[in-house]
Structure 1
Amino acid sequence: MRKVTMRDVSRATGLSMFTVSKALNGGEGVSEESLKMILLAARELGYVPNRAAQELRRSSRDSVAVITADASNSYYLNLMSGIQHTLRPSNWTVVVGDVAVDGVYDPCLEDRMIKRLIESRMAGVISTLTLSPDNIRLLETWDIPIVFVDSAPVGENTYPSVTTDNFNASLLVGDHLAYHGYREWLFLIYPEKWTTRFERERGIREAARRHGAQLVVLESDNDTHSAYAKLGQYLEKTARLPDVLIAGNNPLLLGALKLLQDRRIAIPADMALMGYDEFDWAPLLNPPLTTLNEHSEEIGRRAAGLLVALIGEQTGPDNAAPSSASRREYQQQVPAELIVRQSCGCGLPALPKKKKES
């Protein structure tokens, strides 16, 4: 005869696994009505907790996974530093897997990785991009909590996440562009698979509206070569250079920098340049680059702390990761800071803009 599990109790009562787990393990926060329903169903079904298996589960899961989307993106360096520093005292092992090698997202690679993480008995996952709904459900089925950083799923379901306040970050960028009097803005941005796209674009559109600027949004695949090609195609068709180019992240920025160098477009004399992700060598460029500091190390620290808290709430082998609805308080946003350097035109004498060669 098959052993009755908490999942059976959950199905019988119609209550979430998280609620059932808390009730059967004496946790607080369960209503009296729900508690009575759960205890009655457990008794009628013949549920008996397996304490030995619970202890085995606690002792056997000592690793967490970080899923990245193009590990070459320097944004992840400081993010990983924050994660590692937070998890080190707990002796957790951190495993990193990339599902967008060179910025090219591979859904088959994501599927294989999720299955491998489950087989490896990961205690939890920090993901830097949205996963497919099927893979999210699969992790939940196997009681592996997820914390999203950078990009989080959009829609009715909410999941634990630590992200940048991208809308207000874009307003900071737009206000500074207006300070320079720039009226023609070109925003180079990545596909919607990376959901930071939505709030970054919404914010920059709102800033352009407020300041009466003309905004062109140019979408590129999320890699350096695509950014180089897409920007080159656009500039070939324009009668004149825009006042400023805003690069949506570091891979796109790198592609843009290579193109501007190849075409001998001077920054900021011919066109100003701003980037969305701060990186260690941004002040060493010529000219030094104006960027948004998203404080990715702080995001990593918060995400790791949140994941540890979620793991700590699990007490048995058939307990589930807390449901999305029960984790609405775990939606954290970190404000960005504009780091003003010379690529935007600050600190340099005004120079006449070079006309595009015919």
Structure 2
Amino acid sequence: MTTMVDVAQRAGVSIATVSHVLNDTRPVRPATRQAVLEAMDALGYTPNGLARSLVTSRTRSVGLAVSAISNPYFTEILQGVEAGALEHGYGLLIADPHDDPAHERKVAQLLHERRVDGMIIAPSANPGELLAYLGKHDVPTVFLDRLVDTPADTVSDGPSSTATAASFRFDQVCTENAEPMAELVAHLAELGHRRIGLVAGLPGLSTTTERITGYRHGLANAGLPYDERLVAHGDSQSGAAERTTGALLSLAAPPTALVTGNNAMTIGALRALRERGLSVPADMALCCFDDFSWADLFTPRLTAISQPSKEIGARALKLLLERLASPSRPGRTVRLPAALVHRTSCGCPEKSGRPKGHTTSGRPESPKNPENPEKGPVS
């Protein structure tokens, strides 16, 4: 079996130099590094990952915990994380917390026991046990898609992020939620709809809370009253969304337009409409948060908010590597812009122009303060 001694002899360097190249523990001149790598390739040398981790106290592995991995949105996030991990020489250990707080904590413990260097997690609606475990063991962590409360002051850190000084040093990355949702509602109102229903996600998730906030802003901007009977929770799942859409359709005064809070709930809402023989958009206009690959194949084609899911995954990995390099730096929360993909399920003709409020950059304009438009966007 080829050893480091063999590699050192072939490359004409010391064993220590080979170790520095393998473990990145000390700078090595480019020509020397190349000679070591060529010797490894010629001899077929495979580094011992366990021995390496003993030297560096790092396993060059990352734990990724997201629920519903089969969901296209999270699948693309996974692809973004994996691409970044491979580029930097890291492996992935993947687990599904099932949006269950107790299981989520167990998943974090199992990943930690496998000595991952850090974790990327989409937290549940009640992540208290998870936060306690991560904080107790000082695990480098990035939360994605859903945010956790960070009781701290914030300072500006660029156009779409904030730097957070928290008692625990975690990083977070997510999409803008409120403004894009407000834009969907405003567009439906512009088309003449006065009873706009919302199929919202799992209560307690930051994404659900922010999208409901955006829904209310959109109504207020259009001069429409908020009616809590038109908001029903589909719990971020297709089956629950199908049932709750049926309940909305059974109201004495049902909505004439629907907005769904994620792609899985969009499927459930479409099933409920089909079961009642209703067509989109003739009988019910429909817009959705979360674009997905099939949205352009439906008839009609679905008007949707598109999230930069692969970029979310890539940014999460980048934040984690920065945290590993500088463990004591302040935590950061990064928000990425979403874009409205305007199709025909909203009731617009196939080749209509952009709806009002859609910017050329793909980032929706900020909703105005419904109490005083002169004050600008709601914070």
In the alignment, structure 2 segments of 5+ residues that lack a partner are: 1-50, 153-165, 352-379
**SS where residue 284 of structure 1 aligns?**
coil
The aligned residue for residue 133 of structure 1 is 128
Structure 2 contact 53–59 (Cα < 8 Å) conserved: no
Matches of 1:213 and 1:222 in 2, distance apart?
26
Q: Give the length in aligned residue pairs.
A: 281
**SS where residue 198 of structure 2 aligns?**
strand
1:297 CA displacement: 1.1
CA displacement 1:241-299 (0-9 Å, x = unmatched):
41211110112111111111222110000001111001111101111111101111111
1:154 is matched by which residue type in structure 2? D
Q: Does 1:177 align with 2:192?
A: no
1:348 CA displacement: 5.8
The aligned residue for residue 178 of structure 2 is 167
Please, which moves more after superposition, 126-135 or 68-77? 126-135
1:178 CA displacement: 2.5
**SS where residue 288 of structure 1 aligns?**
coil
Structure 2 contact 343–350 (Cα < 8 Å) conserved: no
CA displacement 1:219-250 (0-9 Å, x = unmatched):
132321111112213322x1344121111011
Structure 1 contact 86–301 (Cα < 8 Å) conserved: yes
**SS where residue 296 of structure 2 aligns?**
helix
The aligned residue for residue 339 of structure 2 is 337
The aligned residue for residue 266 of structure 1 is 279
2:330 pairs, out of 323, 327, 332, with 327
Structure 1 contact 162–303 (Cα < 8 Å) conserved: yes
**SS where residue 138 of structure 2 aligns?**
coil
CA displacement 1:112-157 (0-9 Å, x = unmatched):
2111011111111111224623322322332321111110112515
Matches of 2:83 and 2:338 in 1, distance apart?
21
The aligned residue for residue 349 of structure 2 is 347
**TM-score, scaled to structure 2:** 0.69
1:55 CA displacement: 7.2
Q: How does 1:260-299 map to 2 (within 5 A)?
A: 260-299=273-312
**SS where residue 80 of structure 1 aligns?**
helix
Structure 1 contact 187–247 (Cα < 8 Å) conserved: yes
**SS where residue 266 of structure 1 aligns?**
coil
Matches of 1:174 and 1:67 in 2, distance apart?
32
The aligned residue for residue 202 of structure 2 is 191
Structure 1 contact 123–145 (Cα < 8 Å) conserved: yes
Matches of 1:260 and 1:348 in 2, distance apart?
22
Q: CA-atom RMSD, angstroms?
A: 2.2
Q: How does 1:212-227 map to 2 (within 5 A)?
A: 212-215=223-226, 216-227=230-241
Structure 1 contact 185–214 (Cα < 8 Å) conserved: no
Matches of 1:89 and 1:72 in 2, distance apart?
24
Structure 2 contact 290–304 (Cα < 8 Å) conserved: yes
1:327 is matched by which residue type in structure 2? P
Matches of 1:65 and 1:127 in 2, distance apart?
8
1:232 is matched by which residue type in structure 2? G
The aligned residue for residue 307 of structure 1 is 320
1:57/1:347 CA distance change after superposition, 3 Å: farther
Matches of 1:160 and 1:133 in 2, distance apart?
16
Q: Does 1:242 align with 2:270?
A: no
Matches of 1:94 and 1:225 in 2, distance apart?
31
1:204 is matched by which residue type in structure 2? Y
Matches of 2:171 and 2:337 in 1, distance apart?
17
Matches of 1:154 and 1:192 in 2, distance apart?
15
Matches of 1:174 and 1:259 in 2, distance apart?
21
Please, which moves more after superposition, 189-198 or 124-133? 124-133
Matches of 1:291 and 1:280 in 2, distance apart?
11
The aligned residue for residue 39 of structure 1 is none
Matches of 2:235 and 2:53 in 1, distance apart?
46
Matches of 2:297 and 2:248 in 1, distance apart?
28
1:253 is matched by which residue type in structure 2? T
Structure 1 contact 64–125 (Cα < 8 Å) conserved: yes
**SS where residue 219 of structure 2 aligns?**
helix
**TM-score, scaled to structure 1:** 0.73
Query: Which structure features the higher share of helix residues?
Result: 1
Q: How does 1:58-69 map to 2 (within 5 A)?
A: 58-69=56-67
The aligned residue for residue 73 of structure 1 is 71
2:95 pairs, out of 91, 94, 97, with 97
Q: How does 1:200-219 map to 2 (within 5 A)?
A: 200-215=211-226, 216-219=230-233
1:59 CA displacement: 4.8
Matches of 2:287 and 2:241 in 1, distance apart?
15
Matches of 1:268 and 1:252 in 2, distance apart?
17
The aligned residue for residue 113 of structure 1 is 107
